[in-house]
């Protein structure tokens, strides 16, 4: 191997000690020094104090898979970006970069926020960044450039957004993206999360759903062998806003998805998660719902079917602030195990600090009901067809 | 036809049937017996329910029934109308029929099948949205019975065993049931229909070939329907 091909190998366990080394551009580089100084300082301190991999919230999430993963960054070579025609009609988001549909440089009603756009106003978003102790904190500090999309007030728009790396390498990819939905706008995002083959990718998305706005997200996670994908979605739901999220995935070598909702007055959140996990795939989901003001509604429904040797977990937490009277919160997680080797762990938590609310939750882990299976067999469906039918019924309910 | 020889059914080491020989040829047969004697178990054991351990031989239209898996028994033409079928949330009544027909090798014709399904639900007094209703979810006893009857009529099996199809049905429902059962059996002279019932009016209105009494893990078969009337008068204690 020539010197030019040499790579530095590191894991996320070692990353906190390497961030100052300047291996590649990140939020500690001089370039970003003045963008979000306070937030950067807080994140750095938090990660130095405790590596997010060791955070209590990940206790059931098999993070050993991530800590064992070796990222490889070239020491001398620069990897050339490869643009793919198949995403030509989509918004294409990768580490530090947003590519507009059809090669456009501007788009009516949507403003791109990045270092190349004048007056991108990225600086004003600093107050929305606080360390969470989750793995996505790495994405905040290690992205090559923070990026964002801002939808104008009152706009109605549907966008296909593809999260896919343009660089074919085995280095860690970190995306920190802000999606700012303007007041009274109505936006649908069809999101496709592509895995980084043989690599680890951490995506931190901060959605600001302004007053009176409606945001609908239809997210599909594509499975990938040997890929590790962490997606952490933070939603700031301003008063009278409406957020609907439908997400589906099949897991991968390691997939972790967090949804963190801050819900203000008279706003509504609905999350439907459907996961179908097979083989030795991992899929871990965390949902944190924070009712911070009065008369808000949340409805969380996450279902997982686990087959083969797969490993899945769910942690859900509803927090109701003492001033959040009139809250209506529902949190449900159901898991169907199709094999004796598959595992599913479900943990609901409630932190209620006021009266005059409605709150319900339920978590189950079960096997296929033999009586249902018998009924379908007795009408001629063979065991595999019957199991597939029952699986689909479970996910589609 | 369905013929059992030395047919024994056990559940948890307890004998439900012991060395039973019965012969159900073409036509309608009534199966009666005291409560809890195992009539439903008999039907489920023939269908291959996982709870039952069976030995002996059951010939089903020339096939060794006990050698077949449950779904193979269904595909061979055996149908059991259950007393209390399991609810399956997320599966619509029509989707279920569609899948069952496909599994039984019946070429699907969605338009014709749906039209036939809706005609039957309409005749049986089920709601106009019955095709979209989830299978056995929040259904009354009578609705479940009608749904089982619809499944039987649409799958058109060689042999049907109906477990108390009259329970939960009102007077009009019973009339409709009788009409449909007669239509079913008259459509093909080789068909076999075994009905578990104690309902005198139903037996009266059907052209019954034999009455079988199940008691003390045995089944005794009598030609015609006279034995049923004797049971209605004297009960099971003298049988």
Instruction: Note down pLDDT in tens along chain B; length 239 residues.
Output: 899 999 999 998 899 999 999 999 999 999 999 999 999 999 999 999 999 999 999 999 999 999 999 999 999 999 999 999 999 999 999 999 999 999 999 888 899 999 999 999 999 989 889 999 999 999 999 999 999 999 999 999 999 999 999 988 888 889 999 999 999 999 999 999 999 999 999 999 999 999 999 999 999 999 999 999 999 999 888 77
CB contact under 8 A, B71 and A370: no
CA distance A253 to chain B (A): 30
Q: What is the pLDDT of residue A31?
A: 81
B85 at interface of A, judged by CB pairs closer than 8 A: yes
Q: Where are the domains of chain A?
A: 3-263
- List the alpha helices (DSSP H) in B81-217: 93-103, 110-123, 141-155, 171-186, 200-205
CA distance B237 to chain A (A): 34
pTM of the model: 0.89
- How many CB atoms are closer than 10 A to CB A361? 16
Q: Please check the confidence at residue A75 and state whether its pLDDT lies above 80.
A: no
Contact B96 A372 (CB under 8 A): no
Per-chain mean pLDDT for chain A: 92
- Exposed/middle/buried for A383, CB within 10 Å: 0-12, 13-18, 19+? middle
Model confidence band, residue A17 (pLDDT cutoffs 50, 70, 90): confident
pLDDT tens digits, one per residue of A284-311: 999 999 999 999 999 999 999 999 999 9
Tell me whether residues A378 and B75 touch, CB distance under 8 A.
Answer: no
Judging contacts by C-beta atoms under 8 Å, the chain A residues touching residue B88 are: 372, 375-376, 390, 393
The model's pLDDT over A359-385, given as tens digits with 9 standing for 90+, comes to: 999 999 999 999 999 999 999 999 999
Contacts of A336 (CB under 8 A, 6+ apart): A303, A304, A305, A306, A366, A367, A368, A390, A391, A394
The 8-class DSSP code of residue A342 comes to: -
- pLDDT band at A27, cuts 50/70/90? confident
Contacts of B107 (CB under 8 A, 6+ apart): none
Closest approach of chain A CAs to the CA of B81, in angstroms?
10
Q: Is the pLDDT of residue A85 over 60?
A: no
Give the pLDDT confidence of A221-274 residue by residue, as tens digits.
Answer: 988 878 999 999 999 999 999 999 999 999 999 999 999 999 999 999 999 999
On chain B, the residues whose CB falls within 8 A of the CB of A301 are none
Whether pLDDT at A16 is above 60: yes
On whether any CB of chain B is under 8 Å from the CB of A393, the answer is yes
pLDDT band at A28 (very low <50, low <70, confident <90, very high): confident
Task: Say which DSSP state B126 is in.
Answer: -
Which residues in chain A have Cβ-Cβ distances shorter than 8 Å to B103? 379-382, 385
Whether B88 has its CB under 8 Å from any CB of chain A: the answer is: yes
Nearest beta carbon to residue B70 from set A371, A377, A389? A377
Nearest CB to B89; choose among A374, A381, A393: A393
Give per-residue pLDDT as tens, A148-193.
Answer: 999 999 999 999 999 998 777 888 999 999 999 999 999 999 999 9
The residues in A 332-361 lying below 8 A from B, measured between CB atoms, are none
B89 touches A at CB < 8 Å:
yes
For residue B154, CA distances in Å to A154, B104, B105, B106, B139 come to 54, 11, 13, 10, 20
For residue A26, name the pLDDT band (cuts at 50, 70, 90). confident
**What pLDDT does A84 receive?**
58
Residue B34 Cα, gap to closest chain A Cα (Å): 25
Whether residue A396 lies within 8 A of chain B, CB to CB, comes out as: yes
Query: To the nearest whole angstrom, how far is the Cα of B99 from the nearest Cα of chain A?
Result: 8
């Amino acid at each position: 191997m020539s010197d030019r091909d040499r790579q530095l190998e590191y894991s996320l366990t070692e990353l906190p000690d390497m961030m100052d080394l300047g291996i590649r551009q990140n939020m500690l580089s001089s370039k970003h020094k003045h963008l979000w100084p306070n937030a950067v300082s807080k994140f750095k301190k938090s990660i130095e104090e405790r590596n997010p991999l060791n955070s209590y919230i990940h206790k059931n999430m098999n993070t050993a898979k991530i800590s064992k993963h070796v990222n490889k960054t070239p020491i001398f070579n620069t990897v050339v970006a490869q643009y793919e025609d198949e995403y030509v009609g989509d918004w294409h988001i990768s580490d530090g970069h947003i590519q507009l549909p059809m090669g456009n440089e501007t788009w009516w009603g949507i403003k791109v926020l990045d270092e190349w756009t004048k007056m991108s106003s990225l600086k004003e978003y600093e107050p929305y960044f606080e360390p969470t102790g989750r793995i996505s904190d790495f994405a905040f500090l290690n992205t090559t450039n923070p990026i964002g999309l801002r939808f104008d007030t009152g706009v109605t728009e549907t966008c296909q957004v593809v999260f896919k790396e343009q660089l074919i390498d085995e280095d860690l990819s970190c995306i920190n993206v802000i999606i700012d939905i303007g007041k009274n706008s109505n936006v649908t995002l069809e999101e496709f999360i592509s895995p980084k083959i043989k690599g680890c990718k951490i995506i931190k998305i901060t959605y600001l759903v302004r007053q009176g706005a409606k945001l609908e997200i239809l997210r599909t996670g594509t499975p990938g062998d040997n890929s590790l994908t962490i997606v952490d979605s933070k939603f700031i739901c301003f008063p009278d806003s409406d957020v609907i999220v439908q997400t589906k995935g099949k897991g991968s070598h390691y997939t972790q998805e967090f949804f963190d909702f801050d819900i203000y007055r008279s706003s509504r959140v609905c999350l439907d998660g459907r996961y179908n996990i097979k083989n030795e795939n991992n899929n871990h989901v965390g949902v944190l719902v924070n009712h911070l003001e009065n008369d808000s509604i949340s409805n969380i429904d996450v279902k997982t079917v686990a087959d083969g040797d797969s490993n899945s977990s769910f942690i859900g937490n509803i927090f109701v602030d003492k001033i959040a009277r009139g809250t209506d919160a529902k949190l449900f997680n159901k898991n169907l195990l199709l094999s004796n080797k598959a595992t599913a762990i479900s943990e609901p938590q409630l932190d209620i600090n006021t009266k005059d609310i409605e709150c319900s939750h339920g978590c189950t882990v079960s096997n296929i009901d033999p009586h249902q299976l018998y009924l379908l067999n007795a009408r001629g469906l063979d065991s595999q067809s019957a199991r597939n039918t029952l699986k689909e019924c479970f996910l589609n309910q | 036809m369905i013929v059992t020889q030395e047919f024994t059914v056990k559940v948890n080491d307890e004998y439900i049937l012991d060395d039973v020989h019965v012969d159900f040829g073409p036509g309608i047969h009534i199966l009666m017996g005291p409560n809890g004697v195992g009539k439903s178990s008999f039907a489920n054991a023939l269908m291959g329910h996982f709870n039952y351990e069976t030995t002996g031989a059951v010939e089903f239209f020339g096939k060794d029934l006990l050698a077949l898996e449950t779904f193979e028994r269904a595909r061979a033409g055996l149908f059991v109308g259950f007393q209390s079928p399991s609810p399956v949330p997320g599966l619509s009544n029509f989707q279920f029929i569609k899948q069952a027909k496909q599994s039984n090798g019946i070429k699907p014709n969605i338009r014709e099948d749906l039209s036939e399904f809706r005609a039957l639900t309409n005749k049986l007094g089920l709601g106009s949205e019955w095709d979209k209703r989830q299978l056995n979810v929040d259904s009354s006893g009578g609705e479940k019975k009608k749904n089982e009857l619809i499944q039987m009529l649409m799958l058109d099996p060689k042999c049907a065993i109906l477990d108390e199809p009259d329970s939960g049905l009102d007077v009009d429902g019973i009339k409709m049931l009788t009409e449909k059962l007669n239509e079913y059996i008259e459509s093909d002279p080789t068909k076999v229909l075994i009905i578990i019932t104690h309902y005198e009016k139903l037996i009266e209105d059907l052209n019954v070939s034999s009455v079988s009494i199940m008691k003390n893990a045995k089944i005794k078969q009598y030609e015609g329907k006279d034995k049923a009337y004797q049971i209605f008068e004297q009960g099971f204690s003298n049988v």
